[in-house]
Structures are given as C-alpha cells and as structure tokens.
Structure 1
C-alpha cells in the first residue's frame, strides 16, 4: 500500500481530473445535449482565451507571485492590434506583433517593479490593471473596433474533425500548453522557475539570479497575454475595450483548480488547462440546465476555496 501511495500523483494534481470527470458525469446524466462533439468543441472555444492567459498566470504563480492585470493587458493588446490595422493602415501581421509587444512591455514593467523596487506582485499588478484599463479606454475612445482584418480572425475559424468543428485557436492553445509543459519539465530555465518559487534565497546561493528569472517570467507572461489578445479578437471578431475585466479572476481560478500552489514552487501547467476546462464545463452544463449565471459564479467561488484549502492542507501534511 505504501508503494502504491508513493506512485500515485499528489492529490493537488489528481483533483482537476476528478472534478472534470464528476462534472461531465453529472451534466451528461442531466442534459441530453452535453455529450456531443459540437458541445465539447464549443466549450474549448469558450475557454481558449482564458486558457492562454492562464499559461502566463501559472508561470507567475509558480514563482509565488500573482498577476491581477492580465485580463486588462490582454484587452489593451487587442485594441492596439485592431486599431493599428483599422485606423492606421498597418499590415495585420505587424499590427499583431505590435499588440504583443505592448503586452510584453507591460509584463516587463510588472517584472521591474517586483524585482528592482521589491514591491508586492499583488499591489504592482493591481496598479497596472487600472493603468491598462485607462489606456485602453483612452486609446479606443471607449469604442469597439469592428473593422477587423481577416488575418486576425483566422484563428477563430474552424475545421471539421470527428463530427465537430474545432477552432484553430483551440489547437494553438493546446500546442502552447504542451510547449510550456516541456520547457518547464525538461529545460534548465524551466526548472529554475520552480526553484525560485520554492526558495529564492537558496536559488541565489547556487548561482541562479532569482531577479533575472522573475523578470523573464513576467515578460513571458506578457507575451502569452498578447497571444490571448489575438485569440479574443479571433473569437469575437472585434476589438472590445470593455473585455478583460473578469479574465484575471477566471485565469487565477483555472490555475488554482489546476493544482498549482499559490505559495509557489509546485504545480503542472497542464493542470491549468484542465482547470480552465473544468470552469468551462461547469458554466456550459449549468447553462444547458437553465441555471442562473449567479449560481455559476457561486459554484466557481466554492471550488476555488476548496482547491486552496486542499493546497494548504497538503502543505501542512508535507511538513
């Protein structure tokens, strides 16, 4: 029994899969339309923006930080790329790169404030959340950009597979997760991210500069927010200045449900994908059942508290 216990993954890693299986079983038994290829494809399309944001959020939380600005940085990136293409005549590929550059710049600002001035990530990103929101509203004139290049909406188009219409953006999201999972697991820089989250002082003593790792993580997270900007435009077909106001909480929810510890140093990025899908399945299933959106938010909040409680108990049990 002891050998079997050691071979099993930690509860924090099994939790997302268990929650997903339970949710799918319950909704499959209560709604006829849930178990259909088109419905599962729709769920993945609905979570692809938050899913990519959650990659960046996972990297930051692995270093014992948190990013409240991710959603608004994403919204700013989408406005920058769509307005440059629509109003300034910038070619769509260059406009996309400009939008990602802006989100990466915000990541750099967050990282510099955390590493150089030693401000708490919570305070820094709360401030940049408001700054990004204000810039987004001012630059867009609080108006939605509707003239969007087909290049920017291509990832929202679909192809048929197994009786379902799968969006190219969904494929991109999965590929990004696999790439980051490999990077964190198999490369030295990826393992350094875990080391900084576990013990930054010990990391410094072995010759790894934690400030450089942290700065790189925040910039890389900004790049992922920029990619999420493009996916947001591709999914909605517009540049929306009012987007991104709740995506920060949705991304944190996905990461926590996915088993990544808020205390840093523990977690698997693929778990964040499962966490995002769990939230998507809950909202989809409850909508099919005709449950009010207020109860969807309530249930999501309860799940987050349970996930953090499990994480805290597992940390105490490991001491």
Structure 2
C-alpha cells in the first residue's frame, strides 16, 4: 500500500486504482442502478421528456454542488447557498421589474451572490469564525433580506425574455403535425444543462490546471503546510467562498428564470442537496479531496432519486427521510475513507 497525494492506491487485479477513482466508480454504479430500478418500475422514466426534466432539476443542484465542492475542498462548508440563491433571484427579478435589461438584471443577481460569498470569506478568514457559524449567519441574513425586499411576495410578470435562460433549449426541432399545427419533434437540449456543462468544465480545468486550484487543494490538505509553502491561504479561502456565492447566484437566476417568477421562499434546504452531491461524489468534509466530475455524478444521483420517487408517488416527507439517510451514509463512507 502506498500513499500518493493524499489518495489511497488500491491494487485491483494487478492495476492500481486510487481511492478517489474507486469512490467515483461506486457512485457511478449507484447512479446506473437507480436509473435501472426506476425504469423497471415505470417505463416512462426513460422517456425523452422525463430525461430533460431530470436535466433541468439537476442543473440547479449541480451549480450549487460545484460551488460547495470548492469550499469543502478548502476544509470549509457553506450553509448559505440556498438563501443566497433566493436573494440573488429576487434581486434580479426586482431589477428586471424596474425596467433594467434582462442580461444586466441577471448579472446583478450573480454579483449579489458573489458579494454574499465575499462576506462569508471575510468572516471566516479575518474574524476567524468557523465556517459553519459564519455561513449559518449568512443563511439567515440572505433569507431575511430576500423576504424583506419583496414583502415575502413573489415577483411575477417578468416577461418572456426573463424565462429564456431557464426554459429555452438548443437544437429544438419543430415540424408540422397531421392536424396542420406545429408539433415539437425534439424539445432540444435545455440551456441550464448546457450552462452546467460549461461551468463544470471550466471549474474542473481551474482545479486541475491552474495555480488557484492547486492552492485550494493544498489549503484543504494541510493549511499550515500550505502557508509555509507560500500559499496565500486566506486569499484562497476567500476566492472559494466568492465562487460558491457567485454560483449560488447563477443557480438562483436559472431557477427563477424557469419559474418566470422571483420567489423569495425558493432554495430552502438546497444547501443539503449541494452538500450531499459533493460528498456522494467523493469530496471529503475533512478537506483536500473532491472533484467536479464526482460532484456531477452526485448531483445526478440526487436528481434521479428525487425524480424517480416523485414518479413513484412517494410523498415529499418520505423523500426527505430517504435523502437524509443518503446524506448520513455518504458522510459515513467519507469518515471510513478518512480513517483509512
């Protein structure tokens, strides 16, 4: 047995496989097993329409999960992403409602998310407050602000342009039906799914090929050693929280665009889905371990699980219980891996 960059190398049939890769393969197997199970119980589960629904649902979880992965790899946690999602979406909705062009309004929402992340990072690095408490405070602040500025009422009538990002698609094919009316032959690839892929590739490249990515891993693996090696630990943590906040803001824009309504009550408990996606995908709550590809697998596991349970008629309360067990088991596996 050998240790290589904090990853356990496991010999398997003469081939050495890192524990990270083994964890990712097991998560991928779980995903395929869930798809097969739900498809066996309901043939409509594998329909194109339902597949696109899963893509849409997973896009929000995936964006939040990517940001959460960055923070978790540094050894922190961000409990505020659900509330930041709501605040960013409502700010964008209010801006568009006030007459601002849709792209600028959406950009403003993302900037608000990044600012929330910056506050989290400053509180953690300068005030030396633990990430759990710091982001818990931001969770309450962001949610309260979203409810206050909207009067706890949804912002509707935002226009067709506002819903383009969340409801539009690429390569949509429309033909003429037998009744002479337009008929959708292929609904196309949803813009949120394309956006998720672009963000995942960009962040994955950053983590593996750029210095900031190496600094993030070094900070989470051993903060003191990273500092002695010349890594600006506080700046690295701040960057991770800013990116997490910005991605939460982007997720809020996507979600509100899908609804074509800014809802200040959206995003409740989404932080747990984001944490679950990251941990199921192999991120360690101890820091220093995690990949974007693994988080994407975890996000699809959560998305498929929720979608399949909905189609099976399982109540939302039972779904919470099941997702809770999944989170506990994922963290338990992470603890076993850390001890080993």
Does TM-score exceed 0.5, indicating one fold? yes
1:272 alignment partner in structure 2: 295
Offset, 1:34: 1.1
1:108 alignment partner in structure 2: 118
1:128 alignment partner in structure 2: 138
Cα RMSD (Å): 1.7
Q: Is 2:34 aligned against 1:28?
A: no
Q: CA–CA distance in 2 between the matches of 1:45 and 1:302?
A: 24
Offset, 1:103: 1.1
SS in 1 for 2:46: coil
- CA contact 1:15–1:259 (8 Å) conserved in 2: no
Calculate the TM-score normalised by the size of structure 1. 0.94
Comparing 179-188 with 11-20, greater Cα deviation is found at 11-20
SS in 2 for 1:7: strand
2:106 alignment partner in structure 1: 96
Offset, 1:66: 0.6
2:6 alignment partner in structure 1: none
1:158 alignment partner in structure 2: 169
- CA contact 1:13–1:267 (8 Å) conserved in 2: no
Comparing 195-204 with 89-98, greater Cα deviation is found at 89-98
Give aligned pairs, total: 316
Comparing 222-231 with 294-303, greater Cα deviation is found at 294-303
Q: CA–CA distance in 2 between the matches of 1:24 and 1:133?
A: 35
Calculate the TM-score normalised by the size of structure 2. 0.89
SS in 2 for 1:261: coil
1:51 alignment partner in structure 2: 62
1:190 alignment partner in structure 2: 213
SS in 1 for 2:76: coil
SS in 1 for 2:189: strand
Q: Please list every run of 5 or more consecutive structure 1 residues that lacks an aligned counterpart in the other structure.
A: none
Offset, 1:191: 1.2
2:316 alignment partner in structure 1: 293
SS in 2 for 1:53: helix
- Specify which structure has the higher proportion of helix: 1
Q: Is 2:214 aligned against 1:203?
A: no
2:16 alignment partner in structure 1: 6
Offset, 1:150: 3.2
Q: CA–CA distance in 1 between the matches of 2:135 and 2:82?
A: 11
Offset, 1:232: 1.0
Pick the structure with greater CA Rg.
Answer: 2
- Specify which structure has the higher proportion of strand: 2
Offset, 1:28: 1.4
Within the candidate set 331, 335, 338, 1:308 is matched to 331
Q: Please list every run of 5 or more consecutive structure 2 residues that lacks an aligned counterpart in the other structure.
A: 1-10, 174-184
Offset, 1:9: 5.3
- CA contact 1:85–1:148 (8 Å) conserved in 2: yes
1:61 alignment partner in structure 2: 72
